[in-house]
Structure formats: structure tokens, C-alpha cells
Chain A
């Protein structure tokens, strides 16, 4: 895994990784390649994807990321807040 990106803040708009990894991950399929908003930092932990392969990496931020259901499923008026490692996220700079 690459070095974790820095400088995320609540309110940032992010896009989740779209790739379908070969191994264990904690980015659910339904939330891949989607745009959401950072709600709150949920601590710092080594990446689960690495730990599942017996690797120990540095702790990095985990975020509550809120999505509109319509952006995930094309329908629904609810929100879904998923807890995601910053490695899964890219900030959408031009939207700020």
C-alpha cells in the first residue's frame, strides 16, 4: 500500500476507490467509486487489507463517510455512512 494521504478534514468531499482488490478489503462493493462527504474521524488503525496478509503497516486515519443512497444505488432518500480507511479515499479538490 502507498503512503496514506494527509490533511483530510470533516466536510471534505471524497471519491472512493473503484478497483476490485484481489484480497480482503473493508471497502464494500456498493460504496466503490462513489462520492461522499467526510463526517468525522473514527480513529487511526493499520489498514485491514494489509493485516489480513500478515503485514503490519503504520496506523492511518479511518473516517465516517456519508453517502446519499441515490448516489450508491440510483434510488432511495436515506443516507449510508460507511467507515473507511483514508487509503480508500481521494479528496475531490476542485469542488472545495
Chain B
């Protein structure tokens, strides 16, 4: 079924906003997510298409409410569980212990 990433020709999104002098990343963790994903793909934990697929399978409200790299991190977390690398409990961090 058509997925939320497939937006070509859709109406209803907000205006296009340009950010002058935009930095490569808006926070350190974004760079970490990008590097983490590259490392896991290089090791063959999953491939790029599985990574895209995992983003596309996010619940629509979560997908649209998340920032670009939040989506990436959600997809990485999904795949780590599905590939048996870690359980969801192991991936979760205790808010107060962080």
C-alpha cells in the first residue's frame, strides 16, 4: 500500500522554508545517527533498502511528527530489534539515568 514517504504530487504540506547558512547538522546527535547508520550498513547488519523500508513503515503520525534524523534513529532502532541485535528493552534508555 502507498506509504507516507511517497509524497510526489501530494497537496497539504506547508510552505518551503530555506534556512540561510544552514550547518551540516543541527545537533551532534544527528551526526552520530548518520555515522551509526553508515557503520551498520557497512557491517551488513542491514542494507540501505531495508533502512528506507524501515523508515517508510513508521506510523504515519510518528513519521510526519519526527525530524529527518529522528526518523533515521527510529528506523535504526526498528532494524536492530528485527535483526535480533538487541531487544527493544535493551535499546530503551531510562530517562532519569541518562
Contact = CB atoms under 8 A, between A and B. Distances in A.
Q: Do A and B bind each other?
A: yes
Interface string A40-64: 0000000010011110000000000
Contacts, number: 34
Interface residues of A, number: 15
Interface pairs A-B: 5 shortest CB-CB: A52-B49, A51-B49, A24-B53, A30-B9, A52-B53
Interface in A9-26: 20, 22-24
Range class of the B interface residue count: 10 to 19
Contacts of A72: 9
B54 to A, nearest CB: 9
Nearest to B47: A51
Interface string B47-81: 11110110010000000000000000000000000
Contacts of B52: 24, 48, 52
A48 B49 contact: yes
B61 to A, nearest CB: 20
A28 B47 contact: no
A29 B6 contact: yes
B27 to A, nearest CB: 29
B12 to A, nearest CB: 15
